[in-house]
């Protein structure tokens, strides 16, 4: 496989202009992860603000990563472990505070699920908190409020020219101490020295034990330029700035026309034969079976993973409108059965032995659940499968263990 890691900017790339994930984008990224490619979301957002997006894309179940604060932090989406971090020296906060007070700029920083600011009425600070699903907390001085080493401090101002001038000043006088990122017209982000998405990507590549040639990166803004240049293949969004497009290997459509999904499909999915299993034929053959009656459809099949979907409707819901547990077990046995058939040798067949499930939450009528089946043990006489069933928003509904017996075909 040519690529091992896909790094995606979030705003302006992964999300459309309404800050939404489209169905095509979600499906494409899940497919990419199903064939073994790791996904990292790289954003200027704080880690807390990226977590819901990572969850919707199922990054936790595929050992994906979050690159937050424009590269100041790299976090495992599965465990939450911080794999890489560069923070600001707390002794520099009073200096930044004096600059903000002198110019009348608003100061802010992220702390857990809060945006802490000297002016929580500032429209840009309010929008930042809303975008990331964070709370606001007012303080008089950040130098007093900050208790730990901050990952990023923001200076906010409506005067773009003044902010650009301050950015130039700081880059000249703070070289080797801190870095600045002028990410948008009204915000200057102050980060630790040698912080950027490219630095974080390089650290992640080293930790994964792969080369930069095995990385594909997609972005639209100035903060994405270095990572696009460093990656084996760099792709610019159709809505990217001219500087970004000049640095990329090629461009795709904009973020309101599924540009990222289209680029991934062309660069990765089209070059990988995900399966030789005739999914369409299997679905057609199952029309008049239990599968067809419940609306189960295979969506992906390989020796390492089987996936299927099932709509929650009148065929499989309980009287009060939630998915029936028995239908969930039938879905799990369906994907595990195909998994065993794929894993079997030509002279072997399989029969179900045991199924047990833990139902942890509910799925409601109108939703479509997705089963993800992976092998736990593929022995000579038995196969053990783990099947996790999720809602369309990525919430775990049930975790099911299926055991199939492997037998030699008769005759």
pLDDT digits (tens, 9 = 90+) for 149-173: 888 888 998 888 888 888 888 888 8
- CATH code of the domain occupying 279-408: 3.10.129.10
Confidence (pLDDT) at 273: 44
Q: Which CATH number fits domain 90-192: 3.40.50.2000, 2.40.10.120, 3.30.470.20, 3.30.1240.10?
A: 3.30.1240.10
Question: Contact, 72 vs 195, CB < 8 A?
Answer: yes
Res. 251 pLDDT band, cuts 50 70 90: very high
At 180, the pLDDT band (50, 70, 90 cuts) reads confident
CATH 3.30.1240.10 residue ranges of the chain are 90-192
Tell the burial category of 242 from Cβ atoms under 10 Å away from its Cβ (0-12, 13-18, 19+): exposed
Predicted pLDDT at 90: 82
Q: Which CATH class is domain 5-84+196-271?
A: alpha beta
Say if residue 71's pLDDT is above 90.
yes
Residues facing residue 377 across a β-bridge: 384
Mean pLDDT, residues 343-367 taken together: 88
CATH 3.10.129.10: which residues of the chain? 279-408
How far apart are the C-alpha atoms of 277 and 300, rounded to whole Å? 9
Distances from the Cα of 240 to the Cα of 10, 20, 126, 167, 236, angstroms: 13, 18, 26, 22, 6
Q: Is 342 exposed, middle or buried (0-12, 13-18, 19+ CB in 10 A)?
A: middle
Which residues of the chain form CATH 3.40.50.1000? 5-84+196-271
Q: What does the DSSP 8-state code read for residue 214? A: G
What beta strand segments (E) does 104-203 contain? 106-111, 114-117, 135-138, 152-156, 178-184, 187-192
**Predicted pLDDT at 275:** 42
Rounded to whole angstroms, the Cα distance separating 110 from 72 reads 13
CA atoms 400, 34, 13, 42: torsion sign: positive
Are 188 and 180 in contact by the 8 Å Cβ rule? The answer is yes
- Pick the more confident residue, 351 or 341: 351
**Amino acid 385: pLDDT:** 97
Angle made by CA atoms 180, 185, 187, in degrees to the nearest 5? 45
- The yes-or-no verdict on residue 406 having pLDDT over 80 is yes
Cα separation, 309 vs 325, in Å, equals 15
DSSP 277: S
Catalytic residue among 128, 152, 265, 333: 333
333 is annotated as an active-site residue = yes
Strand bridging mode 73-76 / 114-117: unpaired
Alpha-carbon 302 to chain mean position? 22
**Per-residue pLDDT tens digits for 266-308:** 888 666 544 456 678 778 878 888 999 999 999 988 888 999 9
Question: Does the pLDDT at position 218 exceed 70?
Answer: yes
Mean pLDDT, rounded, of the chain: 89
């Amino acid at each position: 496989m040519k690529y091992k890691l896909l790094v995606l900017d979030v705003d302006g790339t992964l999300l459309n202009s309404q800050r939404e994930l489209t169905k095509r984008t979600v499906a494409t990224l899940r497919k990419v992860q199903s064939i073994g490619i790791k996904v990292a979301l790289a954003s200027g957002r704080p880690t807390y603000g990226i977590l819901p997006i990572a969850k919707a894309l199922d990054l936790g179940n595929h050992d994906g990563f979050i690159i937050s604060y424009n590269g100041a932090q790299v976090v495992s989406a599965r465990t939450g472990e911080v794999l890489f971090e560069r923070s600001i020296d707390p002794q520099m906060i009073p200096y930044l505070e004096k600059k903000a007070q002198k110019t009348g700029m608003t100061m802010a920083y992220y702390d857990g699920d809060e945006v802490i600011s000297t002016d929580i009425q500032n429209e840009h600070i309010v929008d930042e908190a809303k975008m990331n699903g964070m709370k606001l907390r007012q303080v008089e001085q950040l130098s007093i409020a900050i208790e730990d080493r901050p990952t990023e401090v923001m200076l906010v101002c409506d005067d773009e020219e003044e902010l650009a001038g301050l950015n130039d000043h700081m880059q000249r006088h703070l070289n080797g101490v801190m870095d600045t990122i002028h990410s948008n017209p009204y915000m200057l982000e102050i980060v630790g020295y040698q912080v950027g998405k490219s630095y974080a990507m390089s650290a992640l590549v080293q930790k994964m034990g792969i080369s930069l040639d095995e990385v594909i990166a997609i972005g639209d803004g100035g903060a994405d330029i270095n990572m696009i240049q460093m990656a084996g293949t760099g792709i610019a969004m159709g809505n990217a700035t001219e500087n970004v497009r000049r640095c990329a290997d090629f461009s795709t459509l904009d973020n309101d026309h599924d540009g990222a999904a289209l680029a991934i499909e062309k660069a990765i999915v089209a070059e990988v034969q995900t399966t030789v299993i005739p999914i369409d034929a299997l679905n057609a053959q199952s029309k008049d079976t239990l599968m067809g009656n419940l609306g189960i459809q295979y969506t992906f099949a390989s020796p390492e993973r089987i996936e299927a979907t099932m709509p929650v409707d009148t065929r499989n819901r309980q009287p009060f409108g939630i998915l029936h547990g028995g239908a969930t077990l039938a879905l799990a046995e369906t994907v595990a059965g195909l998994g065993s058939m794929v894993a079997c040798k030509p002279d072997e067949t399989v029969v179900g032995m045991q199924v047990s499930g833990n139902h942890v939450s509910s799925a409601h009528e109108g939703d479509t659940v997705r089963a993800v089946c992976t092998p736990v043990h593929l022995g000579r006489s038995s196969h053990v499968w783990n099947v996790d069933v999720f809602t369309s928003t990525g919430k775990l509904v049930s975790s099911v263990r299926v055991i199939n017996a492997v037998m030699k075909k008769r005759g």
